[in-house]
């Protein structure tokens, strides 16, 4: 297959490109400023917020599928950052969706668990968005637009993405290492709960979805239900550090409007995908680097604060 990956220089984009090349696909990767160090990719500079340019790129390259991973990085103090991020996260997906329909191309659109505010019970695929911060609101708006413009597209809601023990670390993992070594200030919350996924597993799921006809909303997440602190312990142990050096805090002690417990029910994904969605503990254990075991994480097969979380409050910059 020929697959166009938008945001290919980003964390998820890089993994989709690597796994796609390894699987024998012809990969076209878009980038805004700098391409990534991933061999075998046909790199194309592109601005996903430019509707005419995106349409022209898709018409010229005629991919079999598009995996849209590009996002706007939040958390910037620049005056126009909020507007620019909204355009990238909420408006640009409409350009991609319209072009995919116009040229009859399969679309895999990556959304986020940030569309949910958090609750005790898991969220099913069809759960209505109820975001409480700007990034989640933008992703929710994009979901609605993509579903309306391209009803045959698959809209993938994903949790925090981690390396899973690979060498290409997410920014949030580097932050965790800096916390443990004292190079950064902050804490990891023990009561903000997610079901993180290894980047290679999510990349393989994206490639699988690019080749099938699954449509609508789909939760794709790991099987471990973990706090940010649990994730941090895995990361630090894998890198040979001291997990007990990680500072902890609680979401409940802050006034930040942030999702608390967000667990995605992946029952449908585990039926329609050929990919094994590992828990993060399994992924780190298989990486062969001394990740610790059994520190308080739940397991479910159906499954940041200002200073407290590993990413800015508008998070997911690791995609």
C-beta of residue 66 within 8 angstroms of C-beta of residue 119: no
Per-residue pLDDT of the chain (319 residues; tens, 9 = 90+): 999 999 999 999 999 999 999 999 999 999 999 999 999 999 999 999 999 999 999 999 999 999 999 987 655 444 456 677 888 999 999 999 999 999 999 999 999 999 999 999 999 999 999 999 888 999 999 999 999 999 999 999 999 999 999 899 999 999 999 999 999 999 999 999 999 999 999 999 999 999 999 999 999 999 999 999 999 999 999 999 999 999 999 988 887 788 999 999 999 999 999 999 999 999 999 987 555 554 544 544 433 333 344 433 233 345 6
- Per-residue pLDDT tens for 263-273? 999 999 999 99
pLDDT for the residue 305: 32
Residue 229's nearest CA partner among 310, 152, 144, 174 is 310
Architecture of domain 2-160+196-219 in this structure: 3-Layer(aba) Sandwich (3.40)
pLDDT for the residue 298: 56
Query: HSE on the CB side for 313, CA within 13 Å?
Result: 18
- Per-residue pLDDT tens for 91-107? 999 999 999 999 999 99
Question: Which residue do the tokens 């902050």 mark?
Answer: 186
C-beta of residue 281 within 8 angstroms of C-beta of residue 232: no
pLDDT for the residue 286: 92
Question: Which residue do the tokens 């509707």 mark?
Answer: 51
How far is 300 from 115, CA to CA, in rounded Å?
21
Hey, is 68 helix, strand or coil? strand
Alpha-carbon distances of 252 from 90, 115, 120, 190, 261, rounded to whole Å: 30, 20, 15, 10, 11
How far is 165 from 286, CA to CA, in rounded Å?
8
pLDDT for the residue 149: 97
C-beta of residue 263 within 8 angstroms of C-beta of residue 186: no
Residue 85's nearest CA partner among 133, 138, 40, 126 is 138
pLDDT for the residue 312: 34
- Classify 311 in phi/psi space as left (phi over 0), alpha (psi -120 to 50) or beta: beta
pLDDT for the residue 308: 41
This prediction's pTM? 0.90
């Amino acid at each position: 297959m020929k697959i166009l990956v938008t945001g290919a220089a980003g964390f998820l984009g890089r993994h989709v490109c690597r796994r796609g090349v390894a699987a024998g696909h012809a990969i076209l990767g878009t980038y805004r400023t700098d391409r990534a160090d991933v061999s075998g990719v046909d790199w194309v500079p592109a601005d996903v917020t430019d509707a005419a340019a995106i349409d022209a790129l898709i018409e010229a390259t005629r991919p079999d599928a598009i995996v849209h991973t590009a996002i706007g990085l939040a958390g910037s103090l620049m005056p126009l950052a909020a507007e620019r991020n909204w355009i990238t996260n909420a408006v640009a997906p409409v350009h991609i969706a319209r072009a995919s329909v116009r040229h009859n191309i399969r679309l895999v659109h990556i959304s986020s668990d940030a569309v949910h505010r958090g609750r005790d019970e898991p969220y099913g695929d069809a759960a209505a968005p109820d975001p409480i911060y700007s990034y989640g609101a933008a992703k929710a708006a994009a979901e609605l637009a993509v579903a309306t413009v391209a009803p045959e597209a698959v809209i993938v809601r994903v949790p925090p993405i981690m390396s899973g023990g690979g060498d290409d670390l997410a920014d949030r993992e580097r932050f965790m290492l800096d916390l443990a070594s004292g190079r950064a200030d902050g804490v990891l919350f023990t009561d903000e709960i997610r079901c993180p996924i290894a980047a290679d597993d999510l990349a393989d799921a994206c490639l699988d979805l690019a080749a099938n006809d699954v449509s609508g909303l789909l939760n794709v997440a790991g099987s471990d239900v973990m706090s940010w602190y649990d994730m941090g312990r895995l990361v630090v142990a894998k890198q040979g550090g001291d997990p007990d050096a990680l500072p902890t805090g609680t979401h409940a002690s802050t006034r930040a409007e942030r999702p608390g417990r967000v667990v995605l029910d992946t029952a449908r994904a585990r039926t329609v995908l050929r990919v094994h969605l590992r828990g993060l503990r399994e992924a780190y254990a298989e990486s062969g680097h001394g990740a610790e075991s059994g520190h308080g994480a739940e397991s479910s097969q159906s499954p940041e604060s200002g200073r407290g979380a590993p990413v800015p409050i508008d998070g997911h910059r690791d995609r």
